[in-house]
Amino acid sequence: MIRINLLPHREAKRKQKQTAFAALLALGGLAGAALVLLVGAYNASRIATQNERNLVLKNANADLDKKISKIASLKAEIEALKARQQAVEDLQGDRNQPVYLLDELVRQTPEGVYLKSFKQDGQRVLLNGYAQSQERVAELLRNLSGSSPWLERPDLTEVRAAALAQSKTGRKVVEFTLNVAIKRARADDDKEAKPSTPKPANSAGGTKP
């Protein structure tokens, strides 16, 4: 005997499949949402951790900037103190500078050179005098530029032949004008540079031509 199923089994299976598909879609959506939430929470946690590190680094940088500014101000104060100390030392050295200058001119002026006048302008001295010959002038320049602990950088500005006014024979001599710089006296080398045994005063001008 043949049995015929007259119920709509195809529609029932179709509905069953549609229900299962919808359930799978819902489950997939829930799984995707859960995954997104987990990833978002993980990223948020990492971002929060990085923000905390950035805040720590920012605070550390701010502290370092404060320390650097303090160090810079301390360096400026130290430099100012050094400048003041140097100014005081220069003033103390300048008090004895005329004595050292005169003594050094006595020491460095060779025989045959007569200093007529000298004028100090700051750390430069203008010397004017007579010499028996140009070789004597060259010797004076060598003395001032090489072996002098108080004078340096001589600059010969004028040299010419001249006759002595007090000479009855009209003897010709060499008249010269030169500039020379004075070295600053320092506290640490003041004792070394200070002359110990000056020459007699009558040799200050050398041999009068």
Confidence (pTM): 0.43
pLDDT band at 56 (very low <50, low <70, confident <90, very high): very high
Mean per-residue pLDDT of the chain: 78
Exposed / middle / buried, residue 47 (Cβ in 10 Å: 0-12, 13-18, 19+): exposed
Q: Strand 151-163 and strand 124-131: pairing?
A: unpaired
Least confident of 24-38, 53-67, 159-173: 159-173
The percent of residues above 70 in pLDDT, for the chain, comes to 77
pLDDT at 72: 87
Helices vs. strands in the chain: H and E counts, helices first: 4, 4
Q: What CA–CA distance (Å, rounded) separates 209 from 194?
A: 30
**CATH number at 103-203:** 3.30.1360
Residue 159 or residue 41, greater confidence: 41
Helix (H, G, I), strand (E, B) or coil at 134: helix
Q: Is 153 left (phi over 0), alpha (psi -120 to 50) or beta?
A: left
Positive or negative CA dihedral for 10, 12, 17, 21? positive
The percent of residues above 90 in pLDDT, for the chain, comes to 13
Report how far apart the first and last C-alpha atoms of the chain are (Å, whole number): 166
pLDDT band at 189 (very low <50, low <70, confident <90, very high): very low
Closest CA to 118 of 205, 207, 209: 205
Structure tokens at 26: 């819902």
Q: Mean pLDDT highest for which of 3-7, 139-143, 190-194?
A: 139-143
Query: Per-residue pLDDT for 208 more than 90?
Result: no
Q: What CA–CA distance (Å, rounded) separates 120 from 123?
A: 7
Closest CA to 115 of 140, 93, 139, 98: 140
